[in-house]
Structure 1
Amino acid sequence: MREIKFRGMGINGEWYTGNLSIIKQRIKSMGIDPGSYISNKAGVPFAYKVRPETVGQFTGLEDKNGKGIYEGDSYTAKHKSGKVYTGQVKYDLSFVFDIEGFEELFINGVGAVKTNRTFDIHSFVKWFDEVEVIGDVYQNPKLQEASHASE
Structure 2
Amino acid sequence: MREIEFRGKTITGIWVYGGISIQSHGTFINDENLPYDDYLVIPETIGQFTGLRDSKRTEEYPEGQRIYEGDALKVTNPMGDEDSMCIVIYDEKAGGYPYEPEGGYGDYDVSTIGWAMDVGYKFEVISDVYDNPALLETVE
**TM-score normalised by the chain length of structure 2:** 0.81
Aligned-residue Cα RMSD (Å) equals 2.0
Q: What amino acid does structure 2 have at the position aligned with 1:137?
A: V
List alignment gaps of at least 5 residues for structure 2.
57-63
Q: CA deviation at 1:129?
A: 3.4
2:51 corresponds to = 60
Q: Which has the higher strand share?
A: 1
Structure 1 stretches of 4+ with a deviation exceeding 3 A read none
Task: Give the distance between the partners of 1:80 and 1:98, measured in 2 at CA.
Answer: 14
**Is the 8 Å Cα contact of residues 75 and 132 (structure 1) preserved in structure 2?**
yes
User: Would you say how many aligned residue pairs link Structure 1 and Structure 2?
Assistant: 128
The C-alpha deviation readout for 1:76-96, integer Å capped at 9, x for no partner, is: 111111122211110111331
Q: Which has the higher helix share?
A: 1
Task: Give the distance between the partners of 1:47 and 1:63, measured in 2 at CA.
Answer: 28
List alignment gaps of at least 5 residues for structure 1.
25-33
Task: Give the distance between the partners of 1:11 and 1:2, measured in 2 at CA.
Answer: 29
Q: What is the percent sequence identity of the aligned residues?
A: 39
Task: Give the distance between the partners of 1:67 and 1:78, measured in 2 at CA.
Answer: 16
The C-alpha deviation readout for 1:20-59, integer Å capped at 9, x for no partner, is: 01102xxxxxxxxx111110359xx611111000000000
Q: What is the 5 A alignment of 1:2-151?
A: 2-24=2-24, 34-40=25-31, 46-65=37-56, 66-83=64-81, 84-93=83-92, 94-99=95-100, 102-106=101-105, 109=106, 113-115=108-110, 119-148=111-140
Task: Give the distance between the partners of 1:128 and 1:36, measured in 2 at CA.
Answer: 38
